[in-house]
Amino acid sequence: MIKLTYVKKAIITAACITLCIVLPMAFHSIPNAGSIYCPMHIPVLLCGLICGWPFGLLCGLAGPFLSSVFTGMPPVAILPIMMIELATYGIVTGMMMKVVHTQKVYGDLYIGLVIALMTGRIVAGLMRALIFASGEYSIAIWVTTYFITAWPALIIQLAFIPMIVFALEKAQLIPMRYPQSYNERV
């Protein structure tokens, strides 16, 4: 039985931060992938889901920051917004996993993810509107663009993250959320 100790959570967080830097680089050679899929979101969401909110928060702040320092992506100008958005994801997913217990892994993951993705986008959209454009109409535009341009990323995150979680559970790299239901699934 695998147990997530404090050290293990810390190192998993470190790995997720590294993936925030490496995944966008890997996607770099695939045309348009970076802007469509937001590859940096996936490790942050996973980190929050698996390690809890303090680690998710750290990953959400440090991931984009280090990526910006080492690779220049995202550019410094949009870095603060991105950090706020990702940090929100990390915190909310972590908290959701603590609060939501539907007895189904899928249920927990989807509820957590949907709420986190909504909150993160709303927070980031608001911040963006407040910082860059203060007109009343602009807020509405910013929020809508946040959802319209980013819908492929939304779908990808909702589809990929449960897949990755199951793969990690099967490879016995993270503990089962509901060990008793394992046999039913298989």
Question: For binding to other proteins (CB under 8 A), which residues are involved?
Answer: 5-8, 10-19, 21-23, 25-31, 33, 36-37, 42-43, 46, 58, 62, 65-66, 69-73, 75-80, 131-133, 135-138, 141, 145, 152, 155-156, 159-160, 163-164, 166-168, 170-174, 186
CB of 104 to other proteins, least distance (A): 18
Residue 147 or 152 having the CB closest to other proteins: 152
Residue 102 or 172 having the CB closest to other proteins: 172
Sequence length of the chain is 186
Residue 5 or 101 having the CB closest to other proteins: 5
Within the chain, residue ranges assigned H as helices are 6-28, 33-37, 41-51, 53-71, 79-99, 105-132, 136-148, 151-170, 182-185
CB of 182 to other proteins, least distance (A): 10
Residue 17 or 92 having the CB closest to other proteins: 17
Q: For residues 124 and 84, what is the distance between their CA atoms, to the nearest angstrom?
A: 6
Residues contacting residue 40 through CB under 8 Å, at least 6 positions apart: 20, 23, 24, 63, 64, 67, 82, 86
Closest CA to 24 of 41, 48, 45: 41
